[in-house]
Amino acid sequence: MRRLGRLGVVAGFGAVWVLLIAARLYHLQVSRYGHYTGKAERQQQRVVTLDPPRGTIYDAHGRELAVSVQVDSAYAVPPEIHDAAAVARALAGAVPGLDAAKLARQLGGDREFVWVARKLDPPVAARVRDLALPGIYFLPESKRYYPMGALAAQVLGYVGTDNHGLAGLELVYDREVAGKQGVRTVLRDAKRGTLVSPGLSFAEPEPGHDLYLTLDATVQHIVERELVRAVEARSAKRGSALFLDPKTGGVLAMASYPSFDPNDFGSYHEAERRNRAIMDVYEPGSTFKIVTAAAALDSGLIKADDVFDCEMGGITLFGIHIRDHKRYGRLSFAEVIAKSSNVGVIKAALRLGDQRLYHTIRGFGFGRLTGIDLPGESAGILHGVEHWGPLAKAYIAFGQGVSVTPLQLAAATAAVANGGTLLKPHVVAAVSRGELRVPRYPEPPVAGQPITAPTAAELTRLLEGVVTAGTGKSAAIAGYRVAGKTGTAQIPVRGGYLRGGYLPSFVGYAPADRAALVGVVAIAEPQGGEYYGGQVAAPVFSSIARQVLLYLGVHPERQPLVAWPGQTVMAGLTARTLAASVVPASSAGLDEVPTDGDDHAEEAGPDPVLWRGPAVTVAPAATPPPAPSGKGHSHAPF
């Protein structure tokens, strides 16, 4: 009986033990099945998000400005790495900028997956592969690449490691260009190897839409090259230049100096990545006289031949004496604009009511955003007319007390060039939607009509006078009619203006009677003694515009030879100097081109360089040569 009792106890304990094991198995395999199978999957698998190829950005002629290329990204599986510090040191020696200490801590942790370095350049990826380190693997990813380097860098912007745009068009159009992310499952097998299995969850990344720009890479190259030359030649601090199509508002080129390479944007300072053409505001100086002249002419209160007494270089208003850059007496309004007389333009503004001048300024888009499709645009500064003091109108008339961006000034001048219509400037012409290319603006985007067409035509005539006989002579281009305005602004600082700090600029368009381009050039703080707009900025405009017009196929006008038989003329002279250039054939020489006899205002640069071509002797003819034809000023061939 005693033995049976002991057997019963043992059997009881055994039964309890079996029941406990069964309960535990039930708990693990039934109640907690989902939990543990999920944990196993998490240990064996890793879902990796893959960036899609961003859409390509093309220039106006289909040249690639930004593309996506496939590169390798390196990752680690820490459980497969036995010496985290050694592996981290080896990787840091192959990958520039990699923090070995930080990576060693990550590899020594309990994580199953660690990114080592994303989107490696091919030579760097090759060095990492050659290390043949245990637990280090690769996945293909998409990386942004800018094949033309620094060209249009501030316009295009750049993309971060997470494949999102951080600046420029890449930021503004990120939703369209970015595409849709893909996913890929990484599997660790029983031997702790890592592979990508086609049977696991997988979704291909979807590429983004493409952008087609109004910007022309060739024009952009010309503008950047000439801007760099000018800024560096003058030892200036910074500069900007932009050119628009006045018929559409499309940006042909937009450049800022200094610049950067978006392929390595992290190596540059914020100032180098800044798009100065739309972000920097400055007092426009005499270039703003275009707006004052537009208000004066459009009001009907002032005509081009109205005479103003410029009081020999100064005017006193409310006890404040405002000086001119030169002592002028009586000038017609056309001469006031050509010679850039502050006194003359102040007197013209005083004939206008405050509201009339303010309305015209606002109509040209100042004091508000243009709405260009680029980030960070500044609206400039234009105080409401109710806040104008007694001298505000006088100062604003010649470009002080108001701040603008180069883009605003270019857009306003384009309205004069195209007959009075203010257009919304833009950079993107179309966005691809699958096989379909959708234009952003099927028609030019009209933003207003600040002046009438007759006013625009008359103002163009006055602005041509600036280039032919005024302060903008160095903006002239042989064979083309050029209209524009110089400006020499002081740089404002707290409590006044920077001593010796100037910002010379020029805004203009060509050909004046059929404008194909309008451009602004502004160069800050040039050194060396020359700082007027006609000396510093106007020649840059001339050089850019001449090259771009020829590239666009806008041919120069040819000047018919006008001379009596037996006389010799220089083939490169304009009509204005043609009469003075007719010399006897026996005394003609290449170094005898006459110089311009106009007075040189302080702001004026050198006369336009005439083509010193060979002397041409006009043979006797049976009938006199025909009179010059064409409208306006005739010019020599380029």
Q: How far apart are CA 470 and CA 182, in angstroms?
A: 63
Of the candidates 419, 418, 381, 422, the one whose C-alpha atom is nearest the C-alpha of residue 399 is 381
Helices (H), 387-516: 392-397, 406-417, 453-469
Closest CA to 346 of 365, 366, 321: 321
Nearest Cα neighbor of 546 from 596, 487, 476, 634 is 476
304-331 exposure pattern, b = at least 16 Cβ within 10 A, e = fewer: bebebebbebebeeeeeebebbbebeeb
In angstroms and rounded to an integer, the radius of gyration of the C-alpha atoms of the chain is 35
At 453, phi and psi to the nearest 5?
Answer: -60, -45
- Do 472 and 488 contact (CB within 8 A), yes or no? no
What span, in angstroms and rounded, lies between the C-alpha atoms of 607 and 595?
A: 8
Q: Would you please indicate which residues are annotated as catalytic (active-site) residues? A: 286
Cα–Cα distance between 330 and 543 in angstroms, integer?
34
Residue type, 152: A
Residue 216, SS3? coil
User: Using alpha carbons only, what angle is made at residue 73 by residues 69 and 79, rounded to the nearest 5 degrees?
Assistant: 165
| Sequence-separated (6 or more) residues with CB below 8 Å from residue 517 | 243, 244, 245, 246, 252, 509, 510, 545, 548, 549, 552
Phi, psi at 216, each rounded to 5°: -105, 125
Query: In angstroms, rounded to a whole number, what is the distance separating the alpha carbons of residues 610 and 488?
Result: 26
The token pair at 62 is: 């289909």
Stated as kind and residue range, the H or E segment containing 575 is: helix 575-581
DSSP β-ladder status, 446-448 and 436-439: unpaired
Nearest residue to 526 via CA among 271, 278, 282, 230: 230
Q: How far apart are CA 351 and CA 424, in angstroms?
A: 31
Nearest Cα to Cα of residue 526 among 507, 505, 496, 495:
505
Q: Of 162, 148, 212, which Cα lies nearest the Cα of 52?
A: 162
Tell me how far apart the alpha carbons of residues 482 and 62 are, in angstroms, rounded to a whole number.
30
Distance in angstroms (rounded) separating the CA atoms of residues 301 and 320? 26
Cite the DSSP H helix spans in 239-375. 270-273, 276-279, 289-299, 333-339, 342-350, 354-363
The answer for residues whose C-beta is within 8 angstroms of residue 500's C-beta and 6 or more apart is none
Count other C-beta atoms under 10 Å from residue 82's C-beta: 9
Q: Of all helices (H) and strands (E), which one includes residue 517?
A: strand 517-524
Q: How many residues are recorded in the chain?
A: 638
